[in-house]
Structure 1
Amino acid sequence: TGVPKAILTGEAHLVADAERIIEEMGIRADDIQLAAIPLSHSYGIGNLLMPLLLQGTSMVLRDAFVPKQLMLDARAFHARVFPGVPYMFGYFAANPPPEGWPACLQLVISAGAPLEAHVSQAFREQFGIKIHSFYGASEAGGIAYDAGDTATPAGSVGTPMTGVTIVVRPDEDAPPGSGRVFLKSTSVAFGYAAADNEDDCPFQEGGYLTGDFGHLDASGRLILTGRVSTAVNVAGRKVHPAEVERVLRSMDGIDDVCVLAAPDVRRGQQILACIVSRRQPTVLEVRRFCAAHLAPHKIPRAIVFLPSLPTTSRGKTDRTHLIALALKQLEEDVT
C-alpha cells in the first residue's frame, strides 16, 4: 500500500484506544487471550499488549498461527478471547478441529482485513459462535465494532465505538451512495513523522480521513464499500474492485475472490479477477454472470483460478504476490 510511514502516537492516544477496546469488547482483567496476531501491529498493541499493561489481562503467545496448537492452548489455559484475522476463521470453518471448538473460547474478534459474509456464516454454522468485526486504523485506533449477536449486512463493521464520531464525506470517486470515511476521537494520532505533502495529509481538523469508502445505514452501522486507492481506470472510467468482488461472491461456488488492476495495452488498465472455487466454473460462465449484474466496462477481461489467495502475516491479501501469480498464469495460458 505504499512506503511505510512512521506515526506519531502518544501515550494518551494508546490509553484512550485501549480503554475503549476493553470496555466495548468486554475484555476482563482475569481473561486469557490467544495471541496469534503480531504484537508489533496496531491490532496486537490495542487488543493484546495494552490490556495486559492496563489491567493485567494475560495472553498465550505463539510465534505464528498454528491451528492445532491454538486449540490446545485454548483448552490448556482456558482462554476466553481470540482476536484474529479472517484467514484464521476461514481456515477453522473449512477445517473444523476434531475435538470441536473449545467451550471456553467465546469472544472471537476479527480485524486487519474485511470479514466476508460467507466466512462469518460458515463459522457460525459450524461452531455456533458469532465473529465480531472490528474496524480500526494504525493512525486512529479502534473506529467501529460489531458487538451484537445477530448477523449483519455484507460490508458491515459495526457501529462507531464510544467516543468516536464518524462522518461520511462526499467523494466523486466513491461508489454510488457512499463517501469517504472521516472520524474524530481521542485516539487519533498526532500525525506522520514526515509528511511529504501537507495538502494531502489525512490528519485534518483534529480527525483522520481514512482511505476507505463507506456509508452509515439506518441502524447506524458503518458499511465499507471499497478503498480509495484501488480504483481501476478502464479507458478513463473508474471501476471499484469491491463492487465486482461483491457480485462474484454472490455466484454459486465462489469461495474467495480478489479483483485487481492489470496492465492493458489499449485501455491502460483492465479488470483482473482472481478466483478461488471448488466448483471451477468456466471463464465464460463467470463473464456471463457478471454481465447480468455489472455494466460492460466492469466485467473482468482477465480471469484466473487459484487454489487460494496469498496472504500477509496480518491476514490481508498479499496483492503484490497475487498480481505476480496471476500475470504468470495468464502468460502460461497464452503460450
Structure 2
Amino acid sequence: MLTEIVTEHLRHHRDRVAVTDPTIDLTGSALLAERDAFATVLEGRVGLGDRPRVGLVAPNSAAYVTAYLAVLRVGGVPFLIDSAFTAGELTTIADDCSLDLLIHDERDLSALGGRRFEGTGAQHMTALHVTALPVDGRRYELRPDTEVCRFTSGSTGKPNCIEFTGDAVYRAAANWAAGTGLDAEDRTACFAALSNGLAFNTSLLATFLTGASLHLSRGLPTAGRVHRDLTRAQATRLVGFPALYESVVRRGTPALADVRVAVSSGAPLREETKRAFADLTGITISNYYGIAETGPLTFTTDPARIDGLGVPLPGVDLRAGVDGEPRPITVRSESMGSCYLNAPGVFEDRIDAEGLYVTGDEGFLRDGALVLTGRSNRMINVGGRKVDPVEVAEALRTARGVRDVVVFEATDQHGDPLVAAAVVSDEPLEITALRAHCAARLAAFKVPGRIHLLDRIPANSIGKPSLTALRRL
C-alpha cells in the first residue's frame, strides 16, 4: 500500500524538490529513480527472498529515504532502528526480530557475522544469517498486513518492536498534514532522526503527500548548524527535540524569517525555554504529543498558548480528566500500531475494555487542549506510599539557582526504593539546603533521599533524560 501511495504522489509532484541533505537535492522524479535503482540492487546483488526483514540504521540523509522507499518497493518490511545503537544492541535486535539484512552507514558490523555489500551513495548493506532466532527458540511471525516496524523502549527489558500496517502509517501522515495545515509550499527542516516517531510521523510520508519538501541535516543540531540549515533550505517548518530549542536560546540565534511553525516533542519543553525562544525569534513553539505505539495525537493549533500540548488531531479519540482533575490518558487513533513483534501479548494487555490504548500518562483537557500532569506508571513506592516524581521535581525547580531537574526511582543500600534527584544549577548549591527546601514544601517521605549535583542531565539519542545513566551514579 505504501509503495503505491508514495509513487502516486511523487509522480504527481515530480518536478518539485522532495528531499534534500547537505550534499544533494532530489525532485520527486529523481527520488523515484534513486529508489528504483536501489531496489534493483536489493533484488539482484543481495538476492533477498519474499518479504525480507530489513533493518535501517543510519543518520538522516536523502540516501536513507531512498533506502527506506526501496525496501518497500521490493516488498520488504523496513525496521527503523536508532542510529545511536551500538553493535551489541544491533545484534540483540537482529537476533530477536530475525532480520535478514541491515542497511547502514560506514560502521563496521562484522561482529554480526554477515556478508557486507556496497549499496548506493553512503549506504552499505550487511546480509545476516537468516537462521537467527530469539532466545525462546522460535521466529516471531509478522502480521500479514505489517508494512513498517519501529522500536520503543519498554518494560520488557529490550526494545519493543512495534508493527504498523500501511494504513496506520498513511493515516498518521495524512492526519498530521490535515491537522497542522501542512501544504505544498512548506519546506520542513527536520533535526530529529527519521527512526523516531517525531520525524517519521511529521516529516516523511506527510511531506510527499502534500508536495512539500523535506530538508535533512547532518551532525549535532547546534544553534549555528540549525541557523545555517534553516537559511539554506528557506525552511517554513522546524522539527526538533527540546534540546535543539534550548541550544538556540543559549546561543541567541537571530530571527528565522521564513519559519512559520516550530514543532517540539520527545521530552517536556520547559515553559521558560518556549518563552525565551519566542522572544528571540518571534516564533512560538508548537507542542506535539504522541506515543510511539499510537502515532501523533495532539498539536498546538494556537501557538500563542504557552500551556498544554494542543488539541487532538483528526482520527484521534483521546480521553483524559477535565476541569483540572487529572486521570490516566487513554487513546484510540487511526495511526495505532498492531502489536509488539518480539513481545507477544504485551501490547494487547495495554488495550482497555473500550479498545483504547492506556498510555501511562496522566492529564486533563482544558478548553479542548491536553495538559500533561505526570506518569501514572512511574510512581515511586516508598514504604508503601506513592511519590509522584513530577511533584518532587516541581518543588526542586522553585529553589534558587536550579536550572534543570530529573526525579527518578533508585535504590538504597538495602535494595529498597528511594526518591533520587539529579539537579543542574546556575550557581553553587548545597544538598542540605535543597533537602530543606523540599522539606518545607513536601511530606517527609517525598523528600529525595539522594541528590546528585550535575553539570548537565545525561540524555539518550532523542533528548530524553537517560534514567539508566542517572541510576549508575
TM-score range, shorter chain: 0.7 to 0.9
Deviation at 1:56, TM superposition (A): 2.8
43, 54, 57: which is aligned to 2:209? Answer: 54
| Mapping 1:249-288, distance limit 5 Å | 249-265=397-413, 268-288=416-436
Q: CA 1:199/1:127 → structure 2, altered by over 3 Å: closer, same or farther? A: closer
Partners of 2:196 and 2:218 in 1: CA distance: 14
352, 364, 367: which is aligned to 1:215? Answer: 364
1:36 equivalent to 2:184? Answer no
| Mapping 1:95-174, distance limit 5 Å | 95-97=251-253, 100-153=254-307, 156-168=308-320
Partners of 2:416 and 2:205 in 1: CA distance: 46
Contact 2:424-2:454 within 8 A present in 1 as well: yes
Partners of 1:243 and 1:267 in 2: CA distance: 24
Q: Larger radius of gyration, structure 1 or 2?
A: 2
Which SS does the other structure have where 1:152 is aligned? coil
1:242 equivalent to 2:365? Answer no
Partners of 2:330 and 2:287 in 1: CA distance: 19
Q: Looking at both structures, which has the greater relative contact order when contacts are Cα pairs under 8 Å and sequence separation is at least 6? A: 1
Deviation at 1:135, TM superposition (A): 0.2
Unaligned runs of at least 5 residues, structure 2: 1-152
Deviation at 1:194, TM superposition (A): 4.4
Q: Deviations over 1:160-194 (max 9, x none)?
A: 22332212389xxxxx9422110122122222224
Partners of 1:150 and 1:69 in 2: CA distance: 27
Contact 1:235-1:267 within 8 A present in 2 as well: no
Deviation at 1:197, TM superposition (A): 4.1
Q: Deviations over 1:224-268 (max 9, x none)?
A: 122234221211211111111122223332211101112114681
Q: Deviations over 1:299-325 (max 9, x none)?
A: 11211111111112211111111222x
Question: Structure 2 counterpart of 1:149, which letter?
Answer: P
Question: Structure 1 counterpart of 2:188, which letter?
Answer: Q
Which SS does the other structure have where 1:256 is aligned? strand
Deviation at 1:23, TM superposition (A): 1.8
311, 316, 334: which is aligned to 1:186? Answer: 334
Q: Deviations over 1:268-302 (max 9, x none)?
A: 11111101110233222212221222111111121
Which SS does the other structure have where 1:13 is aligned? helix
Deviation at 1:220, TM superposition (A): 2.3
Instruction: Name the structure 2 match of 1:24.
Output: 179
In the superposition, the TM-score normalised over structure 1's length comes to: 0.87
Instruction: Name the structure 1 match of 2:242.
Output: 86
Question: Structure 2 counterpart of 1:151, which letter?
Answer: R
More deviation, 204-213/29-38: 204-213
In the superposition, the TM-score normalised over structure 2's length comes to: 0.63
Partners of 2:417 and 2:292 in 1: CA distance: 30
1:72 equivalent to 2:249? Answer no
1:306 equivalent to 2:454? Answer yes
Partners of 1:249 and 1:46 in 2: CA distance: 32
Partners of 2:173 and 2:427 in 1: CA distance: 44
Q: CA 1:198/1:37 → structure 2, altered by over 3 Å: closer, same or farther? A: closer
Partners of 2:344 and 2:337 in 1: CA distance: 17
Question: Structure 1 counterpart of 2:182, which letter?
Answer: I
Contact 1:254-1:277 within 8 A present in 2 as well: yes
Unaligned runs of at least 5 residues, structure 1: 171-175, 328-335
Instruction: Name the structure 1 match of 2:355.
Output: 206
Q: CA 1:23/1:200 → structure 2, altered by over 3 Å: closer, same or farther? A: closer
Partners of 1:35 and 1:222 in 2: CA distance: 24
Instruction: Name the structure 1 match of 2:160.
Output: 5
Deviation at 1:104, TM superposition (A): 1.0
Partners of 2:315 and 2:347 in 1: CA distance: 27
Partners of 1:302 and 1:198 in 2: CA distance: 33
Q: Deviations over 1:145-166 (max 9, x none)?
A: 112132333xx21222233221
Partners of 1:13 and 1:250 in 2: CA distance: 42
Among all aligned residue pairs of Structure 1 and Structure 2, give the percentage whose two residues are the same amino acid.
29
Which SS does the other structure have where 2:409 is aligned? strand
Contact 2:397-2:405 within 8 A present in 1 as well: yes
Instruction: Name the structure 2 match of 1:332.
Output: none
Deviation at 1:195, TM superposition (A): 4.1
Partners of 1:96 and 1:227 in 2: CA distance: 33
Contact 2:178-2:314 within 8 A present in 1 as well: no
Q: Deviations over 1:19-58 (max 9, x none)?
A: 1111222222221111211011222111111123312321
The CA RMSD measured in Å over matched residues stands at 2.2
Q: CA 1:198/1:132 → structure 2, altered by over 3 Å: closer, same or farther? A: closer
Contact 2:424-2:455 within 8 A present in 1 as well: yes
